[in-house]
Chain A
Amino acid sequence: MLKAAFDPVQLAIPFFVLAIILEILLGRFGKAKANYETRDTAMSLSMGFGSTVAGLLLGSVIFATTVWIWNHRIFTIPMTAIWAWVVLFLLEDLTYYWFHRLAHERRIWWASHVNHHTSTHYNLSTALRQTWTGGVAGTWLLWLPLTFLGFPPAMVAIQKGVSLVYQFWIHTEAIKRMPLWFEAVFNTPSHHRVHHARNARYLDANYAGILIIWDKMFGTFIPEVDEEPCSYGTVKNLGNFNILHNVFHEWVGIAKDVAASPRHALGYIFGPPGWSHDGSRDTSHTLKAKWRARVEAESGDQAGVGAP
């Protein structure tokens, strides 16, 4: 009930390795779109390794907290019931959606999640570019209500692992579109490419884990359109391949901003990424507004051509 009998992510590691090898081969022989830059790949895979090590450091604190919550649970939901797995699948995926949305829309959580988005490539190695500071950021707290409700910690851990494994294969340009019914319900490479894109029109969208329905329900779904290919990375791409800079740059940025303007600390910590007290920086919101203005100006120009 407390410790999972198996870890889906650990079990999937050989599949991860084989899939990356296959994607590189497909890219090399022109059978699919796949680009791997050596230092970018090294960064992604090293981040994945470091994330595992970082997870070990805070693992006991997270486990102890989870056990404490479990000891104060409302119900005891049986791990052997199929209905329980179905309900958990939906609730865990909904939890992931809100975790992921917060991780993009609030700077303190963005600081721990941004490293997953710093690659200017979108390939299977990008999926392994995982955070080192998620434990410190406390995003794991969002899953505790499931345990409080009565889902055994082992069950929640397994479902979280299943979600992570699912999200591996969608980090690819090798698959253009899945069948329509699949695209309508599930998160897919196409939907997730939009999520990783830095084009203004695609910012802050498609936060789904497994089911894309949450984005459609909560108004954050944006489809990939062929006329605007995704450009990957962050709005302001990293200037170097330094792994420590990748891990900590946003944390350092928050610290510098808070030190420079302590009166506005809450805004710099909990405001959206790019927020500034004097409005001198761009947030996703302002970038999208500028993009819309450009599109409207261009369409106005085109309408004006040929007009008397």
Chain B
Amino acid sequence: MDKALLIQLGGSITAVALLVAFAAWLGVARATPPLDAESARALLSLEFPDHKPDAVWIAADGAALIARDGALALVLYRRGDGYVARDLPWSTVAALKPTNGRLTLRLSDARPVFAVNDDAWPPKELA
């Protein structure tokens, strides 16, 4: 491979690493306080504006929520300093089994883990 090209590629990789480290060091991500009832409702209405969930369960660490709208589960979990929204059949969510206070959901592109206070699932709010 051309030496100049190698230098250019190496320099680019170094520059990328330094910029990422700089951004991490200065910490300019959005604040993501644990979800409470009010912020959970606001997030749900933003991500699922056509749904009126009957009940909302917030994960023990406040980093995720699951709401139920009839036969549908509306899921939101934290990714970086934002949230990812997915909807899936409630029966899939209800069939999950938590272990050691952790509930793992298998999505097509992620395996979000939800913190539960005890291993009872589904929680009484959603059942």
Contacts and interface: CB of A to CB of B under 8 A. Distances in A.
Interface of A: 17, 20-21, 24-25, 27-28, 34-42, 45-46, 48-49, 52-53, 120, 125, 231, 233, 236-242, 245, 249, 290-291, 294
Contacts of A231: 46
B19 A46 contact: no
B20 A42 contact: yes
Interface residues of B, number: 30
Given A20-B19, A239-B79, A37 B30 contact: yes
A116 B23 CA distance: 20
Given A45-B16, A120-B82, A231-B46, A36 B109 contact: no
Contacts, number: 89
A160 to B, nearest CB: 20
B39 to A, nearest CB: 15
A254 to B, nearest CB: 15
Contact of B13 (A37, A49, A237, A294): A49
B44 to A, nearest CB: 14
B7 to A, nearest CB: 13
A239 B29 contact: no
B126 interface: no
Contacts of B84: 237-239
20 contacts: A17-B19, A21-B19, A28-B28, A36-B28, A37-B30, A38-B20, A41-B23, A46-B16, A48-B16, A120-B80, A120-B82, A233-B82, A237-B79, A239-B79, A239-B107, A239-B109, A240-B79, A240-B110, A241-B80, A291-B49
Interface string B28-39: 111000000000
A238 B109 contact: yes
Interface string B95-127: 000000000000111101000000000000000
Interface in B41-98: 46, 49-50, 79-82, 84-86
A28 B81 contact: no
A24 B26 contact: yes
Which of B9, B15, B80, B86 has the most chain A CB within a 10 Å cutoff? B80
Contact of B12 (A25, A40, A42, A52): A52
Name the residue among A35, A38, A245 with the largest chain B CB count within 10 angstroms.
A38
Contacts of B9: 53
- Which 6 residue pairs are nearest across A and B when measured between Cβ atoms? A239-B110, A239-B109, A36-B23, A38-B24, A120-B82, A45-B16
B15 A17 contact: yes
Nearest to A21: B22
Given A17-B15, A37-B80, A237-B82, 15 more contacts: A17-B19, A21-B19, A21-B22, A24-B23, A27-B26, A28-B26, A35-B81, A36-B23, A41-B20, A42-B16, A120-B82, A236-B86, A237-B79, A237-B85, A239-B108
Contact of B50 (A42, A46, A238, A294): A294
A35 B28 contact: yes
Nearest to B23: A36
Query: Which secondary structure dominates where chain B touches chain A?
Result: mixed
B80 A40 contact: yes
Given A35-B81, A37-B29, A40-B80, A239 B86 contact: yes
Nearest to B29: A37
A170 B24 CA distance: 23
Contacts of A237: 79, 82, 84-85
Contacts of B28: 24, 27-28, 34-36
A36 B29 contact: yes
Nearest to A242: B109
A187 B12 CA distance: 28
A177 to B, nearest CB: 22
Contacts of A245: 109
A240 B82 CA distance: 11
A25 B22 CA distance: 10
Contacts of B82: 37, 120, 233, 237
A294 B49 CA distance: 8
A49 B81 contact: no
